[in-house]
Amino acid sequence: MSTPTDPLPRAARRRRPPLALLLPGLAALAFLGLPLLALLLRAPWSELIALVATGPVAQALWLSLRTAATATAISLVLGVPLAWLLARGRLPGGGVIRAVVTLPMVLPPVVGGVALLSLLGRRGLVGQHLETWFGFTIPFTTTAVVLAQTFVALPFLVLSVDGALRGLDRRFEDVSATLGASRWTTFRRVTLPMVAPAVGAGAVLCFARALGEFGATITFAGNFPGTTRTMPTAIYLAMEQSPDAAVALSIVLVVISAAVLILLRSRWLTAFGGTP
C-alpha cells in the first residue's frame, strides 16, 4: 500500500485514464474500428487480386489516382496563397470568406455537384459562355472529375495551412523584413519552409478526400467508364452487381488511404504539434 511519501504509485494513478472517459473513448474507438474490421473479415482474399485486376476496375483505380493527384496539385497551387490571405491578408469580410472556404466541407457532396453544374454546366452561369464562345464543355468529362474533387478537397488544405500560419512566430518574418527582403522573398524563404509540415499534412488530407469523393463527382461528371468512373463510383455500381467486387475495391481504397497516412505520419504529427 502506498504512502503519502511514495510519489511513484501516486503518479502512476494520476496517469491512469478516468473510467468516465475510458469507456466512451473505447466505445468511440470500437465504433470507428469495427466497420473496418468487418470489411477485412468480409473480403474475398483468395479472389482479391483477380477482382481488382480486371480491366474496368483497374481503369477506375488508375483514373482515381490520376484525378486525385491532379486535384491535390491544383489545391496546393491555389490553396496556399488563399490560406496566406486568410491568415495575413486582413481581408474585409474575413469571417464570411472563411465560411465560404469551409462550406464545401459540411455541404452534402451532391449539393456541391449541383453548385458546380449551376456554374459550369451547359446552361450554367459560366458554362453556357464557354460552350458558346469556345465550344468547350466541362460536365461529364475527366476535367469535371478533377474540379469536383478539388471543390470538396481544397478546404482541407486551406484550413491546415491557415492554422499553421496563425500559430507561426512572426519574429522570423519581421527579421527578414528588417534585413531588406521583400514580402515575396520572406514568404518563399522563411514562411513557406516553416509551414511546410502543415502544407504536407493538408496535401495528404486533400488527396485522401479527393480519392474518396463520390457525390459531387457523379452529379457533375457522371459515370462513364474510362472517363469519369472513379473508384467510389465503381464501388457503388459493384454493390448492385457483385458485392464481393465492391468489398475488394473498398479494401484497395482503405489500403491506399492508410499507406498515404502512414508514409507521411511524421509530417502529419509535426504539423499539429505532436511527436512522430
Kindly state whether residue 230 falls inside one of the protein's structural domains: yes
> What is the 8-class DSSP label of residue 190?
I
Q: 203-248, pLDDT tens digit by residue?
A: 988 998 898 888 888 889 888 888 888 888 888 888 887 788 788 8
Count of domains forming the chain: 1
Kindly state whether residue 11 falls inside one of the protein's structural domains: no
Kindly state whether residue 223 falls inside one of the protein's structural domains: yes
Residues 6 or more apart in contact with residue 10 via CB below 8 angstroms: 2
Kindly state whether residue 195 falls inside one of the protein's structural domains: yes
Section 124-136 average pLDDT: 86
Q: Record the cell numbers describing residue 181, joined without a space.
A: 527582403
Kindly state whether residue 70 falls inside one of the protein's structural domains: yes
Sign of the four-CA dihedral 114, 109, 156, 70: negative
> What is the 8-class DSSP label of residue 261?
H
Q: Band of the pLDDT at 273, cuts 50, 70, 90?
A: very low
Q: 256 lies in which domain range?
A: 49-268
Is the model more confident about 72 or about 61? 72
Distance CA 253, CA 233 (A): 12
Rg (CA), the chain: 23
Distance CA 221, CA 64 (A): 13
> What is the 8-class DSSP label of residue 137?
-
Q: What is the CATH number of the domain that holds 84?
A: 1.10.3720.10
The enclosing H or E element of 202 equals helix 196-211
Residue 193 CA: distances (Å) to CA of 161, 167, 185, 270: 12, 14, 12, 13
pTM, 2 dp:
0.81
The enclosing H or E element of 236 equals helix 231-241
Kindly state whether residue 201 falls inside one of the protein's structural domains: yes
Mean predicted lDDT score pLDDT of the chain: 83
In 94-252, DSSP assigns E strands to none
